[in-house]
A = this chain, B = another copy of it.
Amino acid sequence: MAAITLIEAVTQALAYEMANDGAVLVLGEDVGVNGGVFRATAGLQQRFGDQRVIDTPLDETTIAGLTVGLSLQGMKPVAEAQFDGFVYPMLDQLICHAARMRNRTRGRLTCPLVLRVPWGGGIRAPEHHSEANEAMFTNVPGLRVVLPSSPQRAYGLLLAAIRDPDPVIFFEPKRIYRQYKEEVPDDGEALPLDVCYVLRDGIDVTLVTWGAQVKECLEAAEKLESDGISAEVIDVATLRPLDFATIAESVARTGRCVIVHEAPRTGGFGAEIAARLAEQSMFDLVAPVERVTGWDTHIPLFRLEMKYLPSVERICAAARRTMERS
């Protein structure tokens, strides 16, 4: 079994489930012959035909609306948004319809769909190609929001997302699409859709993050280690519904928490985690919670983007502050 990248794991999961379930189909801009601008659907049209891998007209409203309609008929559409900056025209169909259909028809109609969204910055992409807008979705009841950060989790969580009977927004951290390889058995085993992953154990401070920042957090943990600070690292992986128990359990041990994400800080999903700590872990905390995030600005064009994204240095500094302030 060859080791594969995160994006190859996405392709592998799509191919597995398309072979496994005839109701699964893929649609989006350039997903067909071209295999997607990131190559996530490479080879799928050749293998499954153009009735299963469907290029759409260039309109995100169309993609979202067709996806809702397909899912209403028992298909399991996996739609692709070409870049995260282009999901906004999809929100109306996702929020008003996909997320509500089961509830508003009392279970008569449902929308088992997945929207895949290449997410985040750091690849020197053009304007509007680097957004991290997961917070737009985390306040929406009826949706699930998933954001894997390793090839294995991408594979297992995407399978779970496709099999889930409700709509799932599946963000893919494009900065680490090809960052490293790991062995991902193509065994069709899905991962649970409501679990946080403890990637590294520690006793002094808990670093909570998701997506590409997992890399920075693990590096920061290494660095802190050499300073004698032991950091636990948690990959949230599924933002909605949130497995807060795993985070709370960790913070109960460490007493300190640094939340790291690349979206702007104010109103980002990090706020929800900090809020739950303030509600449920207040007496466990020995130091104020810290957030290390993208600034409350737009992610700049690429000459400045690394000054925007949370760096290992910023994470370490925040972790050290939690040590000092306790």
Contacts and interface: CB of A to CB of B under 8 A. Distances in A.
B296 A290 contact: no
A289 B96 CA distance: 31
Interface string A180-218: 000000000000000000000000000000000000000
Given A267-B271, A272-B275, 6 more contacts: A138-B266, A140-B264, A271-B272, A275-B278, A279-B288, A279-B291
Interface string A232-268: 0000000010100000000000000000000110111
| Candidate in A240, A266, A297 with the most chain B CB atoms within 10 angstroms | A266
A141 interface: yes
Interface stretch (A85-93, A116-124, A168-176): A85-93
A298 B128 contact: no
A97 B282 CA distance: 40
A282 to B, nearest CB: 4
Q: How many copies of the shown chain assemble into the complex? A: 2
A311 interface: no
Nearest to A296: B141
A104 interface: yes
B283 A141 contact: no
| Interface size range on A against B | 35 or more
Nearest to A85: B96
Contacts of A282: 285, 287-289
B266 A274 contact: no
B296 A285 contact: no
A60 to B, nearest CB: 8
The 6 closest A-B pairs by CB, nearest first: A274-B275, A139-B267, A88-B92, A138-B267, A271-B275, A278-B278
Interface of A: 61, 85, 88-89, 91-92, 95-96, 99-100, 103-104, 127-128, 133, 135-136, 138-142, 240, 242, 263-264, 266-275, 277-280, 282-283, 285, 287-291, 295-298
B289 A279 contact: yes
Nearest to A285: B282
B278 A274 contact: yes
B298 A141 contact: yes
Contacts of A127: 104
A305 B85 CA distance: 34
Contacts of A287: 282
A178 to B, nearest CB: 27
A275 B296 contact: no
12 contacts: A96-B128, A103-B298, A135-B267, A136-B136, A139-B264, A141-B264, A141-B297, A141-B298, A142-B298, A270-B275, A278-B278, A278-B289
